[in-house]
Chain A
Amino acid sequence: METLNELLGGFATAMTWQNLLFAFLGCLLGTIIGVLPGVGPVAGVALLIPLTLNLDPAGSIIMLCAIFYGTQYGGTITSVLLNTPGEASSAITTIDGYAMTKMGRAGAALTLAAVGSFIGGTIATVGLVAAAKPLGEMGLLVGPPEFFALMVVGISLLVALAGKSMVKALISGALGLLISMVGIDPVAGAPRFTFGIDNLMDGVSFVAVIVGVFGLSEILSFRRNEPTPVVHAPGFRQLFPSRTEWRRSAPAMARGTGVGFGLGLIPGMTGSVSSLLSYATEKRFSRFRHELGKGAVEGVAGPETANNAHANAALIPLFTLGIPASPTIAVLMGAFLQQGLTPGPSLFTDHSEIAWAIIASLFIGNVLLLLLNVPLVGLWTSILRVPTPILTAVILVFMVIGAYTINFSVFDVYVMIGFGLLGLALRNLDIPLAPMVLTLVLGPLMERSLRESLEISQGDFTVFTSRPISAVLIGIGLLIICSPLLKLRKPKALMEDPEA
């Protein structure tokens, strides 16, 4: 009952006209980012953080969350109409989605994907409401050693699952941690890796690094004379699925919700894994599995439901334990920290009103996206007709403004350029970028909890093994990192993860 009251209070805050406007703008921008090939959700969310700098914390996070799950909706449009995923978690939708387009059923595919996304997202948000309080209270009992161990598990999972080589994933993770350590050491007050540059005393700007590594490096990897795609939006009447299509989609959406919600809770699992596993589930359990690959609605409804359920479920570890489950959530966590909010159990005690307003806005955002996504498909596809040089120029403007406005200094523009080149080099060397963003955000928290733990134990490292929870968690982390030595094989779906 208390949870329901708090949720209703959250709705009251989220439904002020300002916050509704922020949710609407976030959904709009998120869908555009999802539609645009080349600007993924990680860079997209980071790029738009400056827009929210002067907003109040609730409005700012509401807008960024809306951008985040808006990308999940938007990515579907190009998958279905162009056979090109707007973002990685919609890659599997191209198979049956594009086949449906060739059969003249593009409108139905887009509607079913949007409805599935709505159902998956909404059910996962209900899960967040149910889990928030109990998990948050449990999280308050966690001390520095357990918190450190929990972060070790989260990072280990992401490192183990990202890319094909764990060695390269560890390099990426270590680089992220090192970048996070630049600046004045919070305990001793000594400058670290600042090279005598005053601008680095406060550390490297998180937004400049993310925009550079994820956004600019993507633009730098574009090629000249890339053709502008030819795309035809379905008419209004074509948007309605037939009764049979609805009937066939319902079980696929139910299975997709289960898969996406379950995997969203596990740090390191990306939305792509959820949609891939959902497709695999359809191949095994659907009554119409023989039609998959030839334009089966289950191949669209299942994965699209799964990736949205995943996106919202991935917020549960962030809200309750302060652990980001994916790179995009890590960027969101960075935005929380910039607004003076620390995600985790203390969020519900220190900023309860804001926390519940954000949760309530997730429900509102899902409704807004359902209303915006399908009827405006013509508008979204028109964005794709914008020639690449114009898109590139516009995105570069946002990148420069984004980097500059964090500290109102051109130094951060140089930082963005430098990290753009680093990102390009890492891409060319096949080093995954996801571990870097996670460790970049978690680095300061991880170091602080390590040092607090060692101060509590007066330098005794067995503090991590003598406490049962941290011992178990450290054991799990070591097992994950040592999995290549133990010849533990990654599931096939993870090997095919395009996000990794």
Chain B
Amino acid sequence: MTTESVTTKTGSTIRVARGVLAGIGAVAAVGIYVLVSSVSLGLWTSLGPGAGLFPFAMGALLVAMSAIWLLQELRRPSAKGEGVDKGVVISIVASLVILAAVMDLLGFQLSMFAFLLYHLKIRGRRAWVPSLIIALAGSVGAFYAFNYGLNVALPVSAFTPLNLIGL
């Protein structure tokens, strides 16, 4: 379940891996976008430097560096990277996105409880009792510690019935 290596060998020829090319392309694209946007922001005004001057310089730097990076890769491709565990990335990112999406609706306690239970019981395959204890501490415990101990308000549920029971 790992991503492709950073360098790819095909027979005896070594070519730049697609991941690296995508990275170079992304940097160049960001640079070009910034260059174009900063011109429309105005590089110079009657009062002096405009809002676009500094971003323009950064955009130009990104475009120039991506070009040099490409040349470097064509001459000597990067060494093999470690790659990532796609399963880990997808499960963590997806669970975080769902948590962020429901946190304002269900409140911190309920959404974080479900999030922790997923990571401890389903992903982590821990026993029920420690999973429940940690999930409760990380959701209800953290809510009360932050709200009342540190005066930092975590969200409560937007649904009145849940709100009324303190969730």
Q: Give the contact-size bracket for chain B.
A: 35 or more
Complex CA distance for A452 and B60, rounded to whole angstroms: 22
Name the CB-closest residue of A to B71.
Answer: A167
The reply to whether B19 and A429 contact each other, CB–CB distance below 8 Å, is yes
How extensive is the interface on chain A, given as a class?
Answer: 35 or more
Residue of B65, B69, B101, B116 with most partner-chain A CB within 10 A:
B65
| Residues of chain A contacted by B162 (CB below 8 angstroms) | none
Cβ of B14 under 8 Å from chain A? no
A360 CA to B44 CA, complexed, in Å: 47
Bound Cα distance A266, B116 (Å): 43
Interface residue? B74 (CB, 8 A): no
Chain B hits for A454, CB < 8 A: 48-49
Beyond A171-B69, A185-B51, is A417–B83 a contact (Cβ under 8 Å)?
A: no
When chains A and B are docked, how far (Å) is the Cα of A223 from the Cα of B83? 10
| Interface mask (A159-170 → B, CB under 8 Å = 1, otherwise 0) | 000000101101
Whole-angstrom distance from the CB of A281 to the nearest CB of chain B? 31
Closest to A193 in B: B37
- Interface of A: prevailing SS: helix
- Residues of A within 8 Å of B124, CB to CB, are 387-390, 392-393
Q: Which residues from B are CB-within-8-Å of A175?
A: 30, 62
CA of A171 to CA of B152 in the docked complex: distance in angstroms? 36
Compute how far the CA of A78 lies from the CA of B82 in the bound complex, rounded to whole angstroms.
Answer: 23
Residues of A within 8 Å of B88, CB to CB, are 220, 222-224
Residues of chain A contacted by B155 (CB below 8 angstroms)? 404, 408, 410
B119, A396: Cβ atoms closer than 8 Å: yes
- Residues of chain B with a CB closer than 8 A to A294's CB: none
Chain B, residue nearest A403 (CB): B100
A417–B103 Cα distance when bound, in Å, is 15
Give 19 CB contacts A-B under 8 Å: A165-B69, A165-B72, A167-B72, A170-B61, A174-B61, A178-B34, A192-B37, A193-B34, A388-B124, A389-B124, A390-B130, A400-B99, A401-B154, A404-B155, A410-B100, A410-B104, A410-B155, A428-B83, A454-B49
Q: Which A residues form the contact surface with B (CB < 8 A)?
A: 50-51, 53-54, 165, 167-168, 170-171, 174-175, 177-178, 181, 185, 187-188, 190, 192-193, 216, 219-224, 387-390, 392-394, 396-397, 400-401, 404-405, 408, 410, 413-414, 417, 420-421, 424-425, 428-431, 447, 450-451, 454-455, 458-459
- Partner-A contacts on B (CB < 8 A): 3, 6, 19-20, 23, 27, 30, 34, 37, 41-42, 44-45, 47-55, 58-59, 61-62, 65-66, 68-69, 72, 78, 81-85, 87-89, 92-93, 96-97, 99-101, 103-104, 112, 115-116, 119-120, 123-126, 130, 134, 138, 142, 146, 150-155
